Structure formats: C-alpha cells, structure tokens
Amino acid sequence: MRVLGIETSCDETGVALYSERGGLLAHALYSQVDMHALYGGVVPELASRDHVRRVVPLVRQVLAEAGIAKPDAVAYTAGPGLIGALLVGASVGRSLAFGWAVPALGVHHMEGHLLAPMLEAEPPEFPFVALLVSGGHTQLVDVTGVGHYSVLGESLDDAVGEAFDKTAKLLGLPYPGGPALAALAEHGNPERFRFPRPMTDRPGLDFSFSGLKTFALNTASEVGEDAQGKADVARAFEEAAVDTLTIKCRRALRDTGRKRLVVAGGVSANRRLRARMAELEAQAGVTVSFPRPAFCTDNGAMIAYAGCQRLAAGQFDDLTIRAMPRWPLSALTG
C-alpha cells in the first residue's frame, strides 16, 4: 500500500508518499517561517491561504519524484491545529481520494509525531514511553501499540515550545523564537542564573511552564539590553526547561518499568535536550529514540506513515471532511 500523506495543521505544508513495503518513497516541505516572521508569529489566515497555494504543487512534486500516477490511499492531518489550515489539507486530501477512488483517513497530528521515529533505520519497538514536545503540546504517553496510548502527564498551562517562543520574544529575539533562544543560550554563562525546575519537587508527571516564563521575564528585566545578560537568561531558561523534561522522563520510565523512550515533536530537535537524553540513556540503561531533525517539526512523512498503519488495519473514513482544532490524544483507539 502506498499512502499519500498531507500535513497542514499550522505553518508548514508537508506532503509525502510512504509505502508499506518500500518505506518512504518521497517527501517535500514548504515552510512559511519567512512570511510569519514579519508579524512575530503565525497569522492563521495567512497560513491557510498559503497552504491553498502550496499543497497541490507539492502533491504533484512528490508523485513525480516517486514515479507514480496515484497512491493507493490518502492520509491527511485532521487535527489538532488551526482550523483554517486543517480544512485546506482535509479538503484537498478527501477530494483527491474521491477523484482517485481510493480510501482516505484523517490522522491525529500528535500521533504522527509520536510515530515519526518509526521512519528511521532502527525504529523503536513497542512498548515505550513517549515525550511529545512541541509549540502546542507537552505530554508523556505510555505507548503499547499504534492507537494504544495512555497519557501519563501533560502541561497544565503553556507547552514547553510555547514557553521557549514567548521567552525568546521577551528577549527581543526573532521568530521562530525557540531555535533563536537555543542559539543564544550557547553563549550564556550557565553559572550566573538558576531558574526553578517547576513541579519536580512533588509527585506526578504533569508539567507547568508558565511560572518559568514569568521567572525569565523578571530576570530579563534585571539585565536590560545587555547582550551577555540576555544570553545568560536564555541559557538559564533552556537548562531549566530541559532539566524539567528529563526529570519527568526519568520518573515516567521508573513508574512504568519501560526501557524505551521516544522523544518527538519540534522541541525534540533541541541540542541540549538531546544531550541530556543521551545522559539519561547511559545512566538509566534505557534506549532513547528521536526522529531525524527534518522530521521533528511538522512534515508529511509522519502523517503518511501513521495513516499507512491505520489503513493497513482496515480503518478509513467516509466522505465526511474531518477537521478538529481540538482532539485529545486519549480519544484515539487502536
């Protein structure tokens, strides 16, 4: 089965073709970063309009690269995400499937991220604990198979990626803020400031990053426009956020008895987080898997893969076009 995957949940248009036998055959991505940078963040209406311009040419590009006329099925991101952006991918995906007379399936965006490491040469085996970290989500999930997910903990306020972006903005860094903050943190003095590690001094696996963001705001006001001071604040924030994620992952592995950890989502590309997870891997005797950097952020490959697993199990949608801006991962079934 060759599945065309379409991702349009936010500000990146991703299209890919995945084969059940041949693996990833082709993929393409168009990022809207430069357009949204003018406004300091994602403008939903502009994002939707740009998806309209990009998605069909990318579909043609991917099919041409793979050398096929049509796929055997279409998978598209049905949610969660920006409703206008989702409707573009859902409408195009459902319409293409109807025109080609092939099955279509709406895929959960975070399930795509969770399964993205399966695209690697050495994919993780079930069961495992997954840490999903992005601009909109921070979750720890116990995973026993495709569709078999138990949410162990999640952020009670800001997602960690959102906290990165907001802290970057208060430091005067350009959009996208997370990577800019990480780059600035490389020049920071790790000894100057120590930020709190929120909710690590109590039981449980939930997260909270709003207080950490406020702590960064107050500290940034102390250093003013001093360039080194801003770098020191960025370093302290990143260290605190990464430490918090690592502590909770260690706790989740201990509580579940799992020996495998998957880290996925946009923030999983962060170099300091990857380094800290490598330390956890060595200290705790566990295996930690990441998607390649290109598949950490939103992409069509993860949607094509997730859709292929679901379609191979006999799941598909009717003619309804599904787009759900809110869709809890816990609502999914196998």
* Token duo for residue 262: 């998957």
Per the annotation, does 298 bind a ligand? yes
Distance CA 38, CA 42 (A): 10
The answer on whether 187 is annotated among ligand-binding residues is no
- Smallest CA-to-CA distance from 275 within 302, 238, 248 is with 238
Q: Which residue has the tokens 């099925």?
A: 73
* Secondary structure, 3-state, 50-90: HHHHHHHHHHHHHHHHHCCCCCCEEEEEEECCCHHHHHHHH
25, 4, 1, 24: which is closest to 15 by C-alpha? 4
Sequence-ordered list of residues with C-beta below 8 angstroms from that of 207, at least 6 positions apart, any chain: 138, 153, 154, 155, 156, 160, 198, 199, 244, 245, 248
CA-closest candidate to residue 326, choices 152, 158, 137: 137
Where helices occur in 6-150 by DSSP H, the ranges are 33-37, 44-66, 83-100, 109-115
Cis, bond preceding 80 (omega within 30 deg of 0):
yes
Which has the closest alpha carbon to 27: 112, 146, 108?
112
- Known binding residue 51? Answer is no
The answer to whether the annotation marks 17 as part of a ligand binding site is no
d(CA 277, CA 140): 15
Q: Residue 104 is encoded by which pair of tokens?
A: 């279509």
The answer to the question of whether 165 is labelled as a binding residue is yes
Annotated binding site: 109, 113, 132-136, 165, 178, 270, 298
Give binding residues for substrate as ranges: 132-136, 165, 178, 270
Binding residues for Fe cation: 109, 113, 298
